Amino acid sequence: MKFQKQIKITTFNCNGVRSAARKGFFQWLNNRCPDIVCLQEIKAQEHQLQEGPFFPEGYHCYYFDAVKKGYSGVAIYSRQQPDRVIRGLGWEPADTEGRYIQADFGDFSVISLYMPSGSSGEHRQAVKFGFLDMFMAHLQRLREDGRDYIICADWNMCHKEIDLKNWRANRKSPGFLPEERAWLDRLYDEVGYVDAFRLVNPAPDQYSWWSNRGQARANNVGWRLDYHVITPALAPAVEAASIYTDEHFSDHAPVTLVLTR
């Protein structure tokens, strides 16, 4: 991708893009003007989005819907037109659940990913573990192809104790299970990807998702589930990473990464 002086990439689980629109997300987007936007959990099919702000001016917009209406789905908006857009991974549930879209720009790619959560029961946790196994193989292949990648995602997992408020109480909860944390250990330590946020933002109490129960958001009792995972060659370009919490467009918050050349 041809960088200008800097590039801003925002990732956001909108928990329904139409709901986020009603809460002001597209006004915020118009004011912030990131270069690339990766959305997850669209909860709509593209034909349902023809009216309204869902193809914002100045962006090339690409959606990948779930087969099931009102469920999952991902999107990428980019100010620069991609050379190629890839929808899906060729296996389930990535494709029928609309969980993966990739935009290629020269030798640089951006991915919007929505990882299964596993929180609705043992069956879905098993689906998540299966997804993790297959996706790790995909990530290993990406590391071998010579391209640079930024994977923007609701990963539905926390890696370290710093990444969620009540880590002691959640050691047996989906999203912080030992098996999930070990998968992230392998992602970073063995396969070599980098958590871009932690390169420049090591402070605690920074979260991107809060339960709707009680006063979790008001009390900042949250989880950092949404982040940019990058190939190591991009690490020196990371300038800033921040979570926007001043307005509430979803139960998640937008996370923006800034890179410079």
Residue at token pair 């989906």? 174
Going edge to edge, which strands form the sheet with 255-260?
60-64, 74-78, 36-40, 6-13, 255-260, 238-243
208: Cβ–Cβ under 8 A, 6 or more apart, which residues?
222, 223, 224, 225, 226, 227, 243, 252, 253, 255
Return the ∠ at Cα 20 (arms to 15 and 26), rounded to 5°: 135
Q: Look at phi and psi of residue 220 and say left if phi exceeds 0, alpha if psi is from -120 to 50, else beta.
A: left
Long-range contacts, 124-127 (Cβ 8 Å, 24+)? 125/174, 127/93
Burial of 215 (0-12, 13-18, 19+ CB in 10 A): exposed
List the catalytic residue out of 65, 154, 195, 226.
Answer: 154
For the chain, what's the residue count? 261
Contact between residue 128 and residue 115 where contact means Cβ atoms under 8 Å apart: yes
185 part of the active site: no
**Which of 154, 180, 144, 158 lies closest to 250 in space, CA to CA?**
154
Pairwise CA distance, residues 107 & 82, whole Å: 11
Known catalytic residues are 154
